[in-house]
């Protein structure tokens, strides 16, 4: 029997409004497990940062209760919650050295001087910045400043670390390097991390679980692989990874599958995930790498014709943009080693995919209520 993990954070029927009328958070119920790396992912204005700010104590909840280790914290001051925080702009004190920046949260909490020095040395070693104690932030690169910010959040050994888009100001290569850096620190320490981002690639790389937010509601909460492979609605399918959408109407149902008449012509079979039954509109979700181009006419569950509109060489694969059933932005990723000679811009090709790889979802792209 698998032992259930304990929850370190619990949002219980939490709502938030700034103007007394519009709910930015629409009754959030969420349990975050001890030691996990949970990412709150969503577009701007979806409510993810508001949730983080309420948990940190910088914003009050309008309704409901937030618990930390089963203790209600709605009325606990931010500095008494034992939570570390990493911001996008680092928020380092420019007039202080690295060591002084790291000592500050320890001094505020009245740690002994000897303990402060030991903790600073340990955390700098952890983020690979030993020897940088006397430098000021302006003397550090962006990546080094971000590592200092992470070290400052960890130095007093908090029960929980919150990160609000901490890599947004870094360039692409440095951002990817820091993703692995933070991921490895989390794995080595076992500290619970709640991370906010709008970058789905970042979320997939780092997280134990991802909560996908839209319009103040969690649309789906799952592991990265489940979110990518089994999106529950059209919004999640489109927001997580690259996705082809085909609109249509459910013609009939048969067990776990359904036949869908496409708006652009033709009928395909899809996995019945989130539809209202025969006659209901649906959006089909199909990942580009699950589609194959079969010019020789091999058989498959679903076969459609498409016109090649554009070919882009990307080294390990060819990105083909096609016009399929009224969708001019239908993407297929063709492995470079298996590029077909007939894959030529302006030609018609046959496309094949399995019914289980094509998910029939609600047409609106939203769940019906709070998760």
Superfamily of the domain at 243-362: Nucleic acid-binding proteins (2.40.50.140)
| pLDDT tens, position by position, 284-293 | 999 999 998 8
Q: DSSP label at 89? A: T
The model's pTM? 0.87
What is the mean pLDDT of the segment spanning 61-75? 96
Can you list the positions of beta strands (E) in the chain?
A: 7-17, 23-33, 37-41, 63-68, 71-72, 83-86, 160-164, 192-197, 209-214, 217-222, 244-254, 257-262, 267-272, 281-286, 292-293, 302-313, 317-324, 327-335, 348-353, 359-362
Identify the pLDDT of residue 295.
56
| pLDDT tens, position by position, 277-313 | 899 999 999 999 999 887 555 567 899 999 999 999 8
Buried-exposed string 32-71: b where 16+ CB fall within 10 A, e elsewhere: beebbbbbbbbeeebbbbbbbbbbbbebebeebebbbeee
Identify the pLDDT of residue 5.
64
Hey, where are the domains in the chain? 7-229, 243-362
| pLDDT tens, position by position, 195-249 | 999 999 999 999 999 999 999 999 999 999 999 999 999 899 989 989 999 999 9
* Mean pLDDT computed over every residue of the chain: 89
Superfamily of the domain at 7-229: P-loop containing nucleotide triphosphate hydrolases (3.40.50.300)
**Cα end-to-end distance, the chain, whole Å:** 27
Q: How confident is the model at residue 339 (pLDDT cuts 50, 70, 90)?
A: low
| pLDDT tens, position by position, 106-159 | 998 889 988 999 999 999 988 889 999 999 999 998 888 988 998 999 898 898
What is the mean pLDDT of the segment spanning 336-344? 67
């Amino acid at each position: 029997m698998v032992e259930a993990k304990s929850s370190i954070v619990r949002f219980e029927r939490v709502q938030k409004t700034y103007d007394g009328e519009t709910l930015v958070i629409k009754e959030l119920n969420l349990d975050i497990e001890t030691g996990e790396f949970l990412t709150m992912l969503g577009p701007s204005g979806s409510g993810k940062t508001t949730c983080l700010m309420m948990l940190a104590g910088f914003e009050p909840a309008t309704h409901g209760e937030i618990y930390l280790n089963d203790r209600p914290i709605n009325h606990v001051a931010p500095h008494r919650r034992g939570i570390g925080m990493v911001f996008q702009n680092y928020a380092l004190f420019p007039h202080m050295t690295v060591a002084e920046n790291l000592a500050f949260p320890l001094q505020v909490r009245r740690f002994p001087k000897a303990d402060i020095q030991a903790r600073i040395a340990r955390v700098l070693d952890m983020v690979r910045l030993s020897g940088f104690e006397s430098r000021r932030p302006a003397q550090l690169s962006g990546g080094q400043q971000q590592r200092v910010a992470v070290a400052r959040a960890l130095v007093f050994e908090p029960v929980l670390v919150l990160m609000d888009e901490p890599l947004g100001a870094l360039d692409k290569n440095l951002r990817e390097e820091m993703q692995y850096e933070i991921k490895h620190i989390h794995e080595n320490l076992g500290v619970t991390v709640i991370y906010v981002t709008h970058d789905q690639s970042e979320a997939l790389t780092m997280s134990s679980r991802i909560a996908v937010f839209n319009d103040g509601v969690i649309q789906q909460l799952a592991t990265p692989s489940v979110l990518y492979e089994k999106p529950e609605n059209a919004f999640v399918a489109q927001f997580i990874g690259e996705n082809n959408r085909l609109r249509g109407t459910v013609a009939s149902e048969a067990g776990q599958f359904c036949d869908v008449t496409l708006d652009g012509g033709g009928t395909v079979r899809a996995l019945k995930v989130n539809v209202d039954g025969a006659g209901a509109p649906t959006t089909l979700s199909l990942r580009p790498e699950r589609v194959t181009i079969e010019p020789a006419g091999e058989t498959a569950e679903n076969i459609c014709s498409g016109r090649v509109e554009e070919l882009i060489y990307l080294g390990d694969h060819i990105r083909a943009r096609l016009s399929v059933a009224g969708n001019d932005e239908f993407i297929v990723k063709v492995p470079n080693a298996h590029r077909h000679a007939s894959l030529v811009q302006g030609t018609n090709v046959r496309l094949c995919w399995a019914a289980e790889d094509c998910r029939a979802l609600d047409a609106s792209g939203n769940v019906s209520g709070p998760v």
